[in-house]
């Protein structure tokens, strides 16, 4: 049977501002997504029928709750001639960590199933399907290392077109416990407001942004409410700074915190100096264009 092997990457948010709560329960945001080279491993194998999901991480469900299962089911519902698939997922990206692992797995499952089942769907069709499954899925369907996200995160403006593309190195620290995105957003207690964005982001600036410019960009509306519930956020940020990195911030809805290094050597040196708390895991990663 044919098999396809994929490496869905993680993301971090260089900037995340929650603008307002929407009538549909979601939130309008303005964010800067950055793809990094911390990747899961996903293999798709054609089988005669059914959808089978296998995963090495017990925190990730192997039934219809998993977004890769939802992706396969949605394609089968729309295209009944599609066969079956066995999807095997090795999780290197922590689950519910603010790194977009589930969304990336979903996006790459859609890409792979489109090829495995020879559906010949164009990118706009895949984007429409992916956005209906999860707000961050669309970013991982773009061939872009950095993008501005608006709306729920699905309205995207790529920040690289073959010209200068800045690359950063990161030290990521995960405390070993999950944070559900819906809980982080709910703790903001936003009303149905229409407050305008004081946008300081644009694709021209972000395409070749320099390390020294990051201090004025890094921001996350969700950091304070998550930190209020978990002192681990401030502890990880302090540990990263004590390890020698100047900038540190929480990614997405957390709880992963990352520090930005001036290069690979500084990131690796900071990791070697990092004092890990109980259950913490550290990763070094770079921008993935």
Q: Please give the positions annotated as active site.
A: 11, 136
Cβ(29)–Cβ(17) below 8 Å:
yes
15: nearest Cα among 194, 260, 182, 180: 260
Q: What are phi and psi of 82, to 5 degrees?
A: -60, 145
Element (H, E) at 6: strand 3-6
Element (H, E) at 26: none
Cβ(33)–Cβ(149) below 8 Å:
yes
- Sequence-distant (6+) residues with CB within 8 A of 155 are 149
What is the Cα–Cα distance from 62 to 53, expressed in whole angstroms?
5
3-state secondary structure of 33: strand
3-state secondary structure of 121: coil
Length of the chain: 289
Task: Please compute, for residue 158, the number of CA atoms within 13 A of its CA located in the half-sphere on the CB side.
Answer: 14
Instruction: Output b/e per residue, 164-186; b: 16+ Cβ within 10 A.
Output: ebbebbbbbbbbeebbebeebbe
């Amino acid at each position: 049977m044919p098999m396809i092997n994929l490496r869905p990457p993680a993301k971090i948010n260089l900037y995340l501002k929650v603008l307002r709560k929407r009538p549909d329960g979601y939130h309008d945001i303005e964010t800067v997504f950055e793809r990094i080279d911390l990747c899961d491993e996903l293999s798709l194998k054609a089988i005669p029928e059914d959808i089978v999901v296998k995963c090495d991480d017990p925190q990730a469900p192997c039934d219809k709750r998993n977004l890769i299962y939802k992706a396969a089911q949605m394609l089968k519902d729309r295209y009944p001639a599609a066969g079956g698939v066995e999807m095997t997922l090795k999780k290197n990206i922590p689950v519910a960590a603010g790194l977009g692992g589930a969304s990336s797995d979903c996006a790459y499952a859609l890409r792979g199933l489109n090829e495995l089942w020879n559906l010949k769907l164009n990118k706009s069709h895949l984007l429409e399907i992916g956005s209906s499954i999860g707000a961050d899925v669309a970013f991982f369907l773009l061939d872009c290392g950095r993008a501005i996200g608006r709306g729920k995160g699905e309205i995207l403006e790529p920040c690289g077109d073959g010209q200068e593309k800045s690359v950063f190195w990161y030290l990521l620290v995960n405390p070993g416990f999950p944070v559900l995105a819906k809980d982080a957003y709910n703790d903001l207690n936003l009303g149905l407001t229409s407050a305008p964005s004081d946008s300081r982001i644009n694709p021209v600036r972000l395409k070749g942004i320099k390390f020294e410019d990051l201090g004025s960009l890094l921001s996350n509306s969700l950091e304070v409410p998550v930190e209020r519930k978990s002192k681990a956020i401030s502890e990880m940020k302090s540990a990263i700074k004590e390890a020698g990195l100047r900038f540190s911030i929480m990614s997405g809805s957390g709880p992963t915190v990352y520090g930005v290094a001036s290069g690979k050597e500084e990131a690796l040196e900071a990791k070697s100096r990092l004092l890990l708390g109980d259950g913490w895991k550290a990763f070094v990663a770079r921008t993935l264009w």
